[in-house]
Amino acid sequence: MFKFIHAADVHLDSPLRGLERYEGAPVQKIRDASRIALENLVTLAMDEKVAFVLIAGDLYDGDWREFRTGLHFVQQAIKLRDAGIQVYMIAGNHDAANRMTKSLTLPDNVTFFKSKAAHSVSLESVNVAIHGQSFATVAVTEDLSLSYPAAIPGSFNIGLLHTCGNGREGHERYAPCSVDGLKLKGYDYWALGHVHTRETLCEKPFIAFPGNIQGRHVRETGPKGCLLVSVDETHACSVEFRPLDVVRWEVAIVDVSNAVSVDDILALCSTQIESAHREADSRILAMRLVISGQTDLHDILLAKRHYVTNEIRSIATDVGAGEVWLEKIRIETATNLVRGVNSIVSDDALGEILSLFREAGENPTVLSSLGLDLADAMKKIPAELKDSIHTEQDDWLRSIVEEAQSRLLEVLHGKEVGL
């Protein structure tokens, strides 16, 4: 009996997006998240006394900015060598041969599969045969698995492959393959990489994506880590997920339909943050909070967006003692208010106003036609905020227009904009 670890998509030194621009964020932990996640993998491998570690592509996020990225991996590989643990790895689309201009000599316990053709290596101590091939270029569109060697009789055969499978939303269609095609090879285990969501495609033989070891943005939520595989004398596999992530990403939906005051809404947000913080299990929690539901408080929320946002951030700071960070707070409520009742303008005029706001939120040229120059406004925005606006300009524009609409409607309905 022996154990091994199946990991993929380490993306070493990949930046976590959407966090560092906020004052007070645990910047250094965020920057080092992928490194610490790799260190957690190494610690797990040593604690479990595994025979080897598999990395199914995208160890790196692309060409190194500096050699310290490669040196960090070498240091971790040496720890594994000193513990008698082998490492087998392939390159994926992010670290394909033609993308990497820098290299370092790897420790002798690391086997890196070349990109010219699929080939096999054997680990005789546990009677394992590993078959694999690296990406030669970023965009590999053929089914690499078709040319993988035949299974070696009597050995536990593993296929190490970077692939999109039969296609996954949000992932480029690289090295596509089918479960039926993989089964035909007669291997006992297929260690896949590229898809960042953990997924088991088949149990006999076991074919799986472990997901990446550290979520990088709000679309990569939940626990991230690797698969710990135990193999018995009959070559039967027992597979267990083990989390390795340092920063845990979550999206929380807060339904405020029954709230009667802003204090009620803040209390509901506090409950959601506390729950997510507990589930993160002492990790840094990077959280997007979405306030939703149909409520009479809709216009107040939008008109006082900055106040509500800062109150929620204050709650997060208190709950998490600096370990909870709100990536974004989105207000996606709808109003219960019947427009036209007690309004100081006619329903027809109000309809025109709402139509104009809707067009402005969807099309920046409408604002320009009204004499509002977004390019000129951008010049006045602090440099540290420009990146977030450029990357999510549609959301930013929509929030500004919604806030202006709510403020105007409160006035037109003869109501004070307050809390």
- pLDDT of residue 131 exceeding 80, the answer is yes
pLDDT at 404 over 90: no
pLDDT at 399: 61
User: Average of pLDDT values for 189-203?
Assistant: 96
Max mean pLDDT among 13-17, 92-96, 194-198, 344-348 falls in 194-198
Write down the pLDDT at residue 103: 76
Please give the domain boundaries of the chain with CATH numbers for all domains: 2-243 (3.60.21.10), 248-412 (no CATH)
pLDDT digits (tens, 9 = 90+) for 199-227: 999 999 999 999 999 998 889 999 999 99
Exposed e or buried b for every residue in 22-59, given b needs 16+ CB within 10 A?
A: eeebbeeebebbbbebbbbbbebbeebebbbbbbbbbb
What is the C-alpha to C-alpha distance for residues 271 and 190, in angstroms, rounded to an integer?
42
Per-residue tokens: 189: 């285990």
Residue 358 has pLDDT above 70, yes or no: no
| Token couple for 384 | 């540290």
Predicted pLDDT of residue 367: 57
- Mean pLDDT score, 166-191: 88
Mean pLDDT along residues 279-295? 92
Contact by Cβ (8 Å): 51, 125: yes
DSSP single-letter state for residue 189: E
Note the pLDDT tens digit of each residue in 292-330. 999 999 888 988 888 999 999 999 989 888 788 888 899
Integer CA distances (angstroms), 404 to 68, 192, 201, 237, 243, in order: 48, 49, 49, 59, 44
Give the pTM: 0.80
Give the mean pLDDT of the chain: 84
pLDDT at 338 over 80: no
Opening angle at CA 37, ends 33 and 43, nearest 5: 145
Looking at per-residue pLDDT, the higher value among 371 and 125 belongs to 125
State residue 23's pLDDT score.
62
DSSP string, 343-394: -SS-HHHHHHHHHHHHHHHH-HHHHHHTT--HHHHHHTS-HHHHHHHHHTHH
What is the predicted pLDDT for the residue at 9?
A: 95
C-alpha to C-alpha distance for 339 and 86, rounded to whole angstroms: 69
**Minimum mean pLDDT among 10-24, 27-41, 385-399: which range?**
385-399
